[in-house]
Amino acid sequence: MNKTKKKNLYTLLEKLENTQEQTIDLVAAVCADSIAKGGLLYFFGTGHSHMIAEEPFYRAGGLACVYPILETDLMLHEGASKSCGYERLEGLGNLAVANTNISKGDVLFIASNSGRNCAVIDAAMEAKKRGAITVAITSMDHTTKVTSRHSSGLNLYQVCDYVLDNGGEMGDASV
């Protein structure tokens, strides 16, 4: 790894440590409380962000209370253009969450770098309607520079109970 790439990585990690530690601790406590009460941790994302939903699921030694919401039409493996089109349609995020048993006290993590597409915003709104706690994983640098594609005019960070800034840059890449 060259020095520029390494510097970008270290700078990002330091930024996250300095700006996200309190929120991470708070969200960890919310998750621990949910699990202690029998709740589940749900994960949802579209495009590349769906991989965040897969990562904690069915890991050796991992938590059994993790439930990924994996909607094929919103994932890249059947066509990037197709999934990009579907994530911009209102209603699919609602449906994805409605097809789970998410309820009061559960926690839904929603990953989206831009936080502007309908599917993730709809998912957050549906989960909140059902009493779940919502956590956005998004790039505040990116999402605050773009307008929402949702009829509410809101971006994901404006809908969720908690926001974890992933430190990402506009356009998803730093190197």
d(CA 168, CA 122): 22
Residue 63: which H helix or E strand, with range?
A: none
pLDDT digits (tens, 9 = 90+) for 65-89: 999 999 988 888 888 898 898 899 9
Token pair listed for 149: 């594609």
Q: Please check whether residue 101 is in contact with residue 130, taking contact to mean a CB–CB distance below 8 angstroms.
A: no
- CB of 117 within 8 A of CB of 93? no
pLDDT tens readout for residues 24-75: 999 999 999 999 999 999 999 998 888 889 888 988 888 999 999 999 888 8
10 Å CB burial of residue 54 (0-12, 13-18, 19+) is middle
| pTM for the whole structure | 0.93
Radius of gyration over every alpha carbon of the chain, rounded to an integer in angstroms? 16
* Closest listed residue to residue 5, CA positions, set 173, 141, 167, 140: 173
